[in-house]
Every structure is written in structure tokens, then in C-alpha cells.
A and B are shown apart, each in its own frame.
Chain A
Amino acid sequence: MENALKVKDLCAWFGNHQVLNNITMDIRRHAVTSVMGPSGCGKSTFIRCLNRMHDLTPGFRVAGEVLFDGRDIYSEKIDPVLLRRKVGMVFQQPNPFPRMSAFENVAVGLKFNGKKRSRSELAEAVEKSLRMAALWDELKDHLDRLGSSLSGGQQQRLCIARALAVEPEVLLMDEPCSALDPVSTAKIEELIEDLSDKYTIVVVTHNMQQAGRISDYVAFFLLGDLIEMDKAARIFTNPADKRTEEYITGRFG
């Protein structure tokens, strides 16, 4: 299957305020799709709609469809907890469990997952996730360190490892580097490129240079509208819409 997610006519409201207007887009499987746009354009709201993170937000309402594996994730039959296992999320501020060790941070999702695992199975799964998050070499001898004792970049990679441990298909990342220094940012960006071999990745960023570096596809949002979506190379060399051009050349936004 070409597309991991199909979004159809998605609208979203906070109370009476509409923040997303009829968004329709396909999100390509095993590719990096970036969602960029100026503050308040709805990009974070959009990505949070993809795994129902707004379910508990008072006054939030959504219309339209988000198809994942051919089923609308907003249908009543969908269990949002299972959905979020398949569509994981990494946030702007690294949020490891501060009082848990690095090992436990990654293992905890697996423990809650129901399936019984032996110690060695668990250790194996944790190692695999840490390796995929490019953190194993740095942490293999310090797995007992508390999540809060790691550097910001390590914490963020730990959060990515934690998200990967439950074997999601899609990884949503909401400005995953904006709290990090340039070196940590570069590491996360390389990681995103590597992970896109196996995962579908959707990244929200207000940093268009980053969108250029990491993305296969870029969607440009403005005031709740999807203005344009195309291959990154196209968006950054010859966008179709004048507003995209103005945004990426720094004329506004």
C-alpha cells in the first residue's frame, strides 16, 4: 500500500473557532512528510488529529475522515489506545519519565502492552529500540541512568526509542528538535532519515530549512488551509502556489 494515512475533508474546531478547513491529503508510507507553516496555521492541531490526541480537549470537535489501514480512526469501533500504539508520537519537549531509568523508559510501553516477556526478551527489545534510536552506543553501559539525567538530545532520542518499542507504523513528531542544540538536532534529523526506511514519519516543523533537509514530502499550511503539498525538492525549488513561495523565501510568516 502506497499511503499510510489518507486524510479526507478534515475540519477541526476549538469551540466555535475553526482551526482546520477541509484538509485532504495522502501521507506516503515509509517516507518523511513535513508539515510546515507559520505559527497558528494549524499544523500541530493537524498532526494531533492523526492519533486522536485531542479526544480529551474540552470543546474540541472534528469532522471528516482520517483513514488508517482503510478504516476511519474517528469511527466508534476504534480504540484510541490501540490506535496510538500504531501511530506513536514524539513531542517538542523531551518528556522521558524522569524517575525511571533509561531501560525502564523504553521497557514500560512493552510492559503495559499485555504480552508477557521474559527478562531477556525485554532486554532484547529495549536494545533493538535504543539501536534504532541511535542511542545504544552511548547508553549501553548506563542503562540505569535516570531519564532526567540525560542530555536534551539523548532524552529526545530516548523518547523516540520509547515510541518505537511498541512497534508503531507511523511516528508523529511535533517539532522534535526545537528544544535541542544544533548537534543534537543533526543527530535527530539523521535518525529521522534512517527511520523512514521502516516507518511512516510525519514531522511538524516551523523550521523550513529542517523541512528541506529531512523531508520527502512537504505540506504547507496557512490559517488552517492546506495550501500545497508536494515533493520537498519541488516545494523548495519551484512551488506551485505564490503563498508557499512567499513563505519559504521569507517574505512573510
Chain B
Amino acid sequence: MKKHYREELGSLRETVLRMGGLVEQMTHRAIQALVERKIEMLAEVKAMEAQVNQLHIDIDEICLEMIALRQPTAADLRFIAAAMKINTDMERIGDQAINVTERAEFLLTVPPVKPLIDIPRMAEIAKEMLRDALDAFVNGNDELAYNAIKKDDLVDHLKDQVFRELLTYMMADPATIPRALELILVSRHLERIADHATNICEDVIFMVKGKDIRHQGPLA
């Protein structure tokens, strides 16, 4: 009746991965809806959020029970601690994707300010970071996690670029301000998603190496 400890660890890993896949998909769909101007796609993203919220609760419950019942130590303990923290970051990524859909709800009812180029690029990099972070988590690959963290600068840079560019539009034509502001917020949401992916990477590195690299400035 009762599952073995190893099986429980394996199924926790799978559950985390499933949630990661969902929030990546939410991000992807939210941006796709915005770029391709498909308002009906937004409902899909909201439907996924319900699943993500349930997994958020489930994963915490699984982790707590495992700590209480299995007394994990060393690598297993770090794995479970990482799963709990990653869980929070993934849920926040889902929330940010929802924020994007809320911006899109307005933006898709008005004419576009400009063709979207940097925003989809930001989304691509953020999703890539998230995918790498989760791969690194599943395979215990700290090098992949390190490399993913380095991409965060790219996303930050693009966010600044989006801001500067939209500023010129707003100065040239104040009528664009509401739309441009919404786009700036979209870029802000994507930047936050990349930050959460960075957090996940840091947790993975702690999980693999037992080394805390947070709050130490730029990576060497």
C-alpha cells in the first residue's frame, strides 16, 4: 500500500516537473496571444492557472509529509527543501503569466503601438531559463543552472531596451501612453519570470553542491 521512499522522491520530482511545464506553457501562450493578437487564447492560460494552484498546494503537502515521515538527510533533504522553494517560484511565474494576460486583455482591444520584437525575445529567453532550471533540477546538473543564471542579464538588458524604445513613442505621441505603459508592464512581468527562474537555478545549485550562491553579486 505504501510507496517506497525512492518512489516517493521520484514522484515528487515528476510533480515539480509537471508544474514547471505548465507555467512555461502559460508564459508561452500568454505572449503568443499578445503577439498573434488572439484574445481567445487567454482563456487557456487562465484554465492552466487552476491546475498550477492545485499543484502548488500538493507539492508543499508532499514535501511536508516526506520531511515528517521519512526524515530525509543530506542530498535527499536538500532535494526536498529545493522542491519546496522551487514550488513557490513556479507559482509566482504562473501569476506573472496571468498578469501578462491581463495586460493583453486591454492591448488586444486597441491597435498595436508597434510590432512586438523584443518582448517575444524576452519571453523566449525567460522560458529557456526556466526549462534549463527545471532540467538542471531533474538531472542534478549545476552547470546547466549556472549557465541559465547568466542569461538573466540578457533579459534585464532587453527590458531596459523595451523601456527606452517605448519612451520615444510616448514622447512623440502621448496618445500611445496607455498602450505603451501596458507593454512596459508586460516586459516587467517577463523580467520577473526570468528572476524566478534564476532563483530556481540557485536552489538547484544548493541542492547539487550544498553551496549557497545567493546574494553574492555577479557570478565569477
State the CA gap A213–B3 with chains docked (Å): 10
Known contacts A213-B71, A232-B69; A237/B64 CB under 8 A: yes
Q: Give the size of the chain B interface in residues (CB under 8 angstroms).
A: 11
Instruction: For chain B, residues 1 to 20, give those with C-beta under 8 angstroms from any C-beta of chain A.
Output: 1-5
Instruction: Specify which of B1, B5, B71 lies most central, judged by the most chain A CB atoms within 10 Å of its CB.
Output: B1
Q: Does B68 contact A (CB under 8 A)?
A: yes
Say whether A131 faces chain B, with CB atoms less than 8 Å apart.
Answer: no
CB contact list, B62-118 vs A, under 8 A: 64-65, 68-71
How many residues on A have C-beta within 8 angstroms of the other chain's C-beta atoms?
17
Q: Which A residues from 1 to 56 make CB contacts under 8 A with B? A: 30-32
Contact of A233 among B1, B68, B71 (CB under 8 A): B68
- 8 Å CB contact of B71 from A30, A31, A193, A212: A212
User: Is A188 on the interface with B (CB-CB < 8 A)?
Assistant: no
CB of B62, distance to nearest CB on chain A (Å): 10
Chain A residues with CB under 8 Å of B5's CB are 213
Task: Please name all residues of chain A whose beta carbon is closer than 8 Å to the beta carbon of B2 when the two chains form the complex.
Answer: 31-32, 193, 196, 214-216
Q: Measured between alpha carbons, how far is A110 from B134 in the docked complex, in Å?
A: 54
| Among A32, A196, A237, contact of B68 (Cβ-Cβ < 8 Å) | A237
Residues of A within 8 A of B (CB): 30-32, 190, 193, 196-197, 209, 212-216, 232-233, 236-237
Chain B residues with CB below 8 A from A215, complex form = 2
Give the A-binding residues of B (Cβ under 8 A): 1-5, 64-65, 68-71
Are A237 and B65 closer than 8 Å at their CB atoms?
yes
- Tell me which residues across on chain A come within 8 A of B3, comparing CB atoms: 193
* A234: min CB distance to chain B, Å: 9
Contact A212 B69 (CB under 8 A): yes
The main secondary structure of chain B at its interface with chain A is helix
For the complex, what is the distance from the CA of A66 to the CA of B93, rounded to whole Å? 55
Residues of chain A within 8 A of B71, CB atoms compared: 209, 212-213
Contacts of A232 in B (CB 8 A): 69
Do the beta carbons of B70 and A213 come within 8 Å of each other?
A: yes
A42 CB to nearest B CB, Å: 24
Query: Contacting B1 at CB < 8 Å: which of A31, A213, A236?
Result: A31
> Which residue of the partner chain A has the closest CB to B3?
A193
Most buried by A among B69, B70, B71: B69
Is there contact, CB below 8 Å, between A233 and B4?
no
Known: A214-B2, A236-B69. 15 other contacts (CB 8 A): A31-B1, A190-B4, A193-B1, A193-B2, A193-B3, A212-B69, A212-B71, A213-B5, A213-B71, A232-B69, A233-B65, A233-B69, A236-B68, A237-B64, A237-B65
Is B1 a contact of A30 with CB atoms below 8 Å?
A: yes
Q: In the assembled complex, how far is the CB of residue B4 from the closest CB belonging to chain A, in whole angstroms?
A: 6
Bound complex: CA of A30 vs CA of B2, how far in Å?
A: 10
> What B residues does A197 contact at CB under 8 A?
1
Q: List chain B residues, Cβ under 8 A from A212.
A: 68-71
Q: How far is the CA of A214 from the CA of B69 in the complex (A)?
A: 8
| For the complex of A and B, 10 pairs with smallest distance between CB atoms | A236-B68, A212-B69, A233-B65, A196-B1, A193-B2, A237-B68, A31-B1, A209-B71, A236-B69, A216-B1
Contacts of A233 in B (CB 8 A): 65, 68-69
A215 to B1, CA, bound (A): 10
Which of B2, B3, B5 gathers the greatest number of chain A CB atoms within 10 Å? Answer: B2
* Chain B neighbourhood of A213, CB < 8 A: 5, 69-71
What is the distance, in angstroms, from A216's C-beta to the closest C-beta of chain B?
6
